[in-house]
């Protein structure tokens, strides 16, 4: 704009100068020829400059118009890209929300499949394990009658003074460095180590170390069902394991021998104790390093599924590491 104004001013000055020269020439008849020729030459030069300035002004105006067109085109392109970006952002947010929903649905389906697989294994084992015959009198009894008889030490239940494990601090002190929370029970002929942080008067799965001070300490898997309402008459327990790699299934741990049925007159405890060989220790390690597992307890008339808690898993890890630390499997 400033350049255009300067060009217009130069044109006006040129015209004024030409007019002055013509007036002077017309009013002075006695001007020498040389001066007249010089004036004409100057006029010609000024007209040439004027023509050049006009051309440059027109070129500048065309360039400006072209830049305005380019600017408008760029603004339009930017606006279009901004709209596309906003649309893509909305699509991305929607896609992320759908992805999150699908992930949650997948996790739920995996859990449901796992439960169905657990139930299938339990049902198959229930079919393979022969149920003990029940007489007509036993079948005719109500659940309350069965509970009363079991709590009194009948119906296959052994009466004991207490349910659970009791710590012997003197023996436990010898293994205090093996793992935190280690306790020792010396009520039986062979002492055992356990994790004192669990409640052993409830339905749980846990590990114990038998004869920890001996030459060959033994790791054992314990599954117990505890109730004050109804006996289960447990026949088997199955630990179904889902490892990290679904392509390589892990064999379940089955407990069906050396059944325990006991009562202190207040609650009933039923379960199994299984000595753990190297194969079972390997499967336990898989469970405790990220694998999921469920315990299915099979009774004569029903079954109970137990999903071990975080505390149970932590206690199992604690005892397993203590077992390896004191020389297990060597």
252-280 pLDDT per residue, tens: 899 988 899 999 999 999 999 999 999 99
Share of the chain above pLDDT 70, in %: 78
| Long-range CB contact pairs, 191-200, < 8 A, 24+ | 192/165, 192/220, 193/319, 193/322, 194/165, 194/319, 195/315, 195/318, 195/319, 196/167, 197/311, 197/314, 197/315, 198/311, 198/312, 198/315, 199/164, 200/163, 200/164, 200/165, 200/224
Question: Per-domain residue ranges for the chain?
Answer: 1-22+35-57, 141-325
Pairwise CA distance, residues 255 & 239, whole Å: 8
**pLDDT band with cut points at 50, 70 and 90 for residue 170:** confident
Q: What is the overall mean pLDDT for the chain?
A: 81
pLDDT in the model for residue 20? 52
pLDDT in the model for residue 246? 57
Share of the chain above pLDDT 90, in %: 28
User: For 110-116, what is the mean pLDDT?
Assistant: 65
Q: Which two tokens stand for residue 141?
A: 């009894």
User: For 156-171, what is the mean pLDDT?
Assistant: 88
pLDDT per residue as tens digits for the range 185-199: 888 888 899 999 999
Q: What is the pTM of this model?
A: 0.60
């Amino acid at each position: 704009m400033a350049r255009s104004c300067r060009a217009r001013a130069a044109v006006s000055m040129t015209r004024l100068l030409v007019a002055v020269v013509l007036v002077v020439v017309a009013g002075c008849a006695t001007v020498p020829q040389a001066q007249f020729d010089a004036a004409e030459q100057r006029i010609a030069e000024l007209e040439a400059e004027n023509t050049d300035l006009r051309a440059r002004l027109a070129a500048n105006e065309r360039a400006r118009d072209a830049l305005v067109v380019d600017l408008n085109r760029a603004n339009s392109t930017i606006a279009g890209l901004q709209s596309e970006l906003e649309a893509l952002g909305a699509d991305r947010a929607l896609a992320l929300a759908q992805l999150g929903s699908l992930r949650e649905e997948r996790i739920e389906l995996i859990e449901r499949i796992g439960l169905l697989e657990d139930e299938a294994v339990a049902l198959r084992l229930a079919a393979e394990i022969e149920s003990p015959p029940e007489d007509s009198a036993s079948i005719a009894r109500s659940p309350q009658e069965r509970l009363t008889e079991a709590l009194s030490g009948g119906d296959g239940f052994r009466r004991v003074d207490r349910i659970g494990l009791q710590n012997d601090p003197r023996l436990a002190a010898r293994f205090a460095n093996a793992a935190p929370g280690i306790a020792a029970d010396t009520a039986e002929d062979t002492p055992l180590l356990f994790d004192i942080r669990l409640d052993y008067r409830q339905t749980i799965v846990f590990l114990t170390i038998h004869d920890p001070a001996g030459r060959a300490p033994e790791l054992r898997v314990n599954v117990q069902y505890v109730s004050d309402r109804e006996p289960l008459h447990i026949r088997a327990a199955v630990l179904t394991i889902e490892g990290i790699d679904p392509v390589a299934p892990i064999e379940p741990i089955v407990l069906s021998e050396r059944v325990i049925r006991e009562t202190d007159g207040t609650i009933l405890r039923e379960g199994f104790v299984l000595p753990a060989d190297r194969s079972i220790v390997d499967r336990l390690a898989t469970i405790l390093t990220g694998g999921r597992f469920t315990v299915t307890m099979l009774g004569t008339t029903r079954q109970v599924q137990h999903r071990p808690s975080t505390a149970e898993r932590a206690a199992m890890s604690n005892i397993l590491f203590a077992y390896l630390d004191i020389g297990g499997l060597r």
